[in-house]
Amino acid sequence: MTNILFYVLAIVALLGAAGVVLAKSPMGSVVSLLGTFFALAVIYLLAGFQFLAGAQILVYAGAILVLFLFVIMLLNLGAMGSKFELSFAPLQSTRARIAGCIALALALVGLVAAQRASFAAVPERDASAPAIDSMEGLALELFGRYSLPFQATSLLLLVTMVGVIALAKRQRSGDEPAKGEERP
C-alpha cells in the first residue's frame, strides 16, 4: 500500500519538476516546485525520516518558496501570465538540445549507477517504527561529531545576512530619502 503511495508521489514529484522547467510564468514554476517539495516530504516520511520531512516543509516550502514569491511579486514578474500554462518554447533551440542531451546523459549515468549498486533488500517499515532520524540521535551527532561544521553553518548564515543586506541596499548614498519620507 505504502509502496504504491511512494510511486504515485514519485510521479507527482517528477511532474512538478517538469512543471518548474516548462511553466510560462515564474508563478507557475513556484507552484510546481511547491508540489515537488510536498511530495518529497511525504516520501521522506514514508522512508522513515520524520524530522527531515518537517524540515523540508518548514524550510523549503515555508521559507525559501516564500522568499521566491516575495521577489516575484516585488519585481512584478507574476503578471506575465495569470494562468498556469506550459510552454515548450524554451526547449526548441540548439542550446536547449545540447542541454537536453547533457541532462539525459547525466540521468542515464545516475540510473545505471543505481542499477549496478545492487543494494540488499530493505525490511518493511510500518508507521509505528521509530524514525531513523530521531531527535536525540540527530542532536548527539550535530553537537558531537559534527559540531565544527554546525558552527561553521552559523558563520555562513551570518555572512549571508550581511551580504544580502549589502547587496539589496540602495547604492547611491547621495540621494538617500530623508527620514519619514521613504519610498513605499
CB of 180 to another protein, least distance (A): 23
CB of 84 or CB of 146, closer to another protein: 146
- Per the listing, cell 511525504 goes with 42
CB of 82 or CB of 102, closer to another protein: 102
CB of 144 or CB of 180, closer to another protein: 144
CB 56 within 8 A of CB 37: yes
CB of 166 or CB of 180, closer to another protein: 166
Of 8, 102, 147, 151, which lies in the binding site for another protein, with binding defined by CB under 8 A?
A: 102
Site for another protein in 131-160 (CB under 8 A): 132-134, 137-138, 141-142, 146, 149, 153, 156-157, 160
Of 83, 94, 124, 176, which lies in the binding site for another protein, with binding defined by CB under 8 A?
A: 124
DSSP-based three-state secondary structure for 23: strand
Cα–Cα distance between 132 and 130 in angstroms, integer?
Answer: 7
CB of 178 to another protein, least distance (A): 21
CB of 119 or CB of 181, closer to another protein: 119
Task: Retrieve residue 88's grid coordinates.
Answer: 515548450
CB of 183 to another protein, least distance (A): 13
CB atoms within 10 A of CB 31: 17
- 3-state per-residue secondary structure call for 40-101: HHHHHHHHCCHHHHHHHHHHHHHHHHHHHHHHHHHCCCHHHCCCCCECCHHHCCHHHHHHHH
Beta-bridge partner residues of 54: none
Of 10, 73, 79, 86, which lies in the binding site for another protein, with binding defined by CB under 8 A?
A: 10
Site for another protein in 26-85 (CB under 8 A): 26, 29-30, 33, 36-37, 40, 43-44, 46-49, 51-52, 55-56, 59-60, 63-64, 67-68, 70-72, 74-75, 77
Cα–Cα distance between 46 and 49 in angstroms, integer?
Answer: 7
